Amino acid sequence: MKRNNQVTLDGLIEAVRAEIAIVRGERIPAAHFTVRTDQPELGGLHPAVAYGRLAAEIVVFSETAQEAKAPLEATVRGWLRTMWQDGQPHVVLVADRVTFHLPSEVRARASAQLSAYMRELSSA
């Protein structure tokens, strides 16, 4: 339920984990990550997930930022989804747009790597 449920977070993307998810019977890329907006003990650590091309962008930009030893600052927009685990509600941000705030040379390298990765996927 996306209506009346929009969220925008500004912070650091961390702990990126890629996988292949089954969504409506189809295999698509997924990226699980956290957005750190403040200290965790102050409630500033937010779980998030992205699917499809956006997941690939998050993984590639994260790897490129790590190689450059640059923090992956971003604005993440999406909606909240509640999932139940062990009888407890667990809220996750489902990202539908991410704007990366990186130095131009790191952004250019990540964009080139993403383009190559997407070409590779489409030819497979």
Residue 1 has pLDDT above 70, yes or no: no
- In this prediction, residue 124 carries a pLDDT of 60
Look at residue 36 and tell me whether its pLDDT is greater than 90. yes
Print the domain residue range for 101: 6-123
Domain for residue 67, yes or no?
A: yes
How confident is the model over 65-113, as pLDDT tens digits? Answer: 999 999 999 999 999 999 888 999 999 999 999 999 999 999 999 999 9
Q: What is the pLDDT of residue 43?
A: 84
Is 120 or 121 the better-scoring residue by pLDDT? Answer: 120
Q: Total domain count for the chain?
A: 1
**Whose CA is closest to 11, among 82, 89, 93?**
93
Exposed e or buried b per residue across 2-40, where buried means at least 16 C-beta atoms within 10 angstroms of its C-beta: eeeeebebebbbeebebeeeeeeeeeebbbbbbbbeeee
Helices (H), 27-88: 52-67
Of 109, 5, 116, 4, the C-alpha closest to 56 is 116
Residue 29 is part of a domain; what is its CATH number? 2.40.50.140
Task: Report yes or no on 26 lying in a domain.
Answer: yes
